[in-house]
Amino acid sequence: MQRNVNVRVKGGLHARPIAELVRLSRAFRADIEILHDGRAALTRSSMKLLMLGVKEGQTVTLRGRGDDTQTAMDQICQFLDGAPATASPPAKPAIAASEGLAIGPAFHFVQPVVQPEPDYIDPLAVEAELRRLQGAAARLTARIRADAARTAHAATRQILQALSDLADDTEWLDTLEGRVRAGMSSVAAVQQTGAENARQIAALDDPYASARAEDMRSVAHLMTLELQGQQPLTLDAAPDGAIIVAEELPALDIGKTDLARLGGIVCLKGAVTSHAAIIARAYGVPAVFGAEALRDRLFAAQRIALDGTRGLVVPDPDAATEQQFANAAQAAQKDAADLLRFRDVAPRTPGGRSITVAANLGSVAELDRACAAGAMGVGLFRTELMFIDAASPPTEDDQYQAYSAILGRFPDHPVIIRTLDIGADKPLRGLTPTAEENPALGMRGIRLCLSRPDVFKPQLRALLRAAPHGHLKVMLPMVSDLSELRATHALIDQCRAELAQEGTAHGLFDLGIMIETPAAVLTADLLAQEAAFFSIGTNDLTQYLMAADRLNPNVAQLCRADHPSVLAAIKAVCTAATRHGLWVGICGEAAADPALVPLFVAAGVTELSMSPGAIARVKRQICGLEGL
């Protein structure tokens, strides 16, 4: 089958639309080629498509073969014609929380309603009400801990343990008891205090911290049900293969069942950083969050089709849509089976260049998934999440245990741990300034750490203690000046001297820096003389180079890692590193972008670090990068 089409994609086939075209093509079994100016490229090959050099307004020829060629050609023609291509009827895009496709019966997960009670009690009933509150809190905490002990999944267990700590938190319980002593009923005290705490957490300008508001709301709701003797609904009631539809799905609920038997999850609220999303990804269950616009249709639907990769949800899909999803799911399963071949591969380009493909991690709980995906070590461990998620800051020993555990899982590969990176969009109460006009340009990353040796030195000591357990490398975030690297070296020397005097075992590690600021790019030659390696954080580097807040939707079109200025900066950093014998990695989200991987490798990058789910795909892509 062959067809001509005029390309109306704005700007032609450059890196970003090519990435979209590749993702679209993978939903079909058919092989579709684009022929242009005597050359041909499969629509699944970003590198070949880029080399075609197709410009806006030019006419190309599509040639296809395979079972679903007609459907694939229609969708690809629609895409090239400048219209958004979808494999289903129009559906409201939401948040792609966990990759995968699913179709199944809807299971509406709605908890029992709390029965109304008077807000205030008789003063003579205060002691009895206190006993009621304390008993409910103890039973709830015990139940959560029992659920944590029963689960076999490390990520779920750790999250449930954290939630049990929240339910048993002294400050939380003291506030509740204080309000009951003042005459408030237990239910009113729990509802009011829970709502206040959730609002305060949600107001934090950080996706990881604000996602914890979900946990607070869940604990408060379950405690009110416990007070009234009501049994909460559990996901065990859902049939196998069901698509869960919920307002919000707290980890307290999602952690109690075998998620592997479910088809997928759709929530009206939620974020990709929520505990529910973390657990869904850990189990490989497709999930879409933030589908508020479809509320009425979702809760009336009998069946649901969802695409957790693109954030699409279709309530009560028609027969044609079901078939399209089924075809796409079949193609995805075939592709997943092919990717298994690359799990233990150390990828080399056809030209013989070795590229390390490592994992980005935020917690020890994610280690299982990284190892199962074939990660060649850790390219970025975000230590700030240990601080943000904890009820109290982790001690030196807490950090030592975590760092040692990570090193122990990768005895043959390097583990790169980033020192505390808070500030800007990751504030931490008690550490980050509260009144900065422009926190993205203020006290954050290494600047903040150097100003707080009481926080920074325990982390450096923990890292030095963990160093003998593996191939540890440490990198500093937001470096702008050589003095920051030198000051850190001086602190490390102090910590080593202290540990030696104490007789505490420790070792050495390579100290590298993240390239995230224009200053670091322009002084890369100078920094390379004293840094052990460079790791490029494309998220912040793009933001600062383009002078566009990456969290501001009004300028989102400027925050493109494929922008010529960003690619030129990466090339310049690689050139400087090569002159000084340093290796360069990329640990931003762009490291897994199919359209950008060939450009990064061509620029001289030798390490790419990403979410575990993308590792095998990127390994496969590297092995096919002809000419590199």
The letter for the amino acid at 235 is: L
CA pseudo-torsion sign 287, 292, 296, 297: negative
Given the residues 275, 413, 495, 574, select the one marked as catalytic.
275
Residue 480 structure tokens: 């702008």
- 219/217 Cα distance (integer angstroms): 6
Place of tokens 């600062």: 544
Alpha-carbon gap, residue 278 to 98, rounded angstroms: 8
- Considering only CA atoms, which of 473, 434, 367 is closest in space to residue 154? 367
End-to-end CA distance of the chain: 33
* Cβ-based neighbours of 575, under 8 Å, separated by 6 or more: 604
Instruction: Tell me, rounded to whole angstroms, the distance of Cα 544 from its chain centroid.
Output: 21
Q: Is 587 labeled as catalytic in the residue annotation?
A: yes
Q: Which of 535, 556, 532, 531 is nearest to 546 (CA)?
A: 556
CA distances from 303 to 297, 298, 313, 539 (A): 11, 9, 11, 38
Whole-angstrom Cα Rg for the chain: 26
Question: What does the alpha-carbon distance between residue 46 and residue 61 come to, in Å, rounded to a whole number?
Answer: 17
The string over 559-572, giving b where at least 16 C-beta atoms fall within 10 Å of a residue's C-beta and e elsewhere, is bbbbbeebbebbbb
- Strand arrangement, sheet containing 264-267: 95-98, 287-289, 264-267, 243-246, 101-109, 303-307, 312-315
Provide the strand spans (E) within 209-250. Answer: 243-246
Contact between residue 458 and residue 399 where contact means Cβ atoms under 8 Å apart: yes
**Catalytic one among 449, 495, 574, 587?**
587
- Cα 152 to Cα 97, 160, 258, 459, 480, distances in angstroms: 23, 12, 10, 30, 44
471 is catalytic: no
Q: Hey, which residues are catalytic here? A: 275, 587
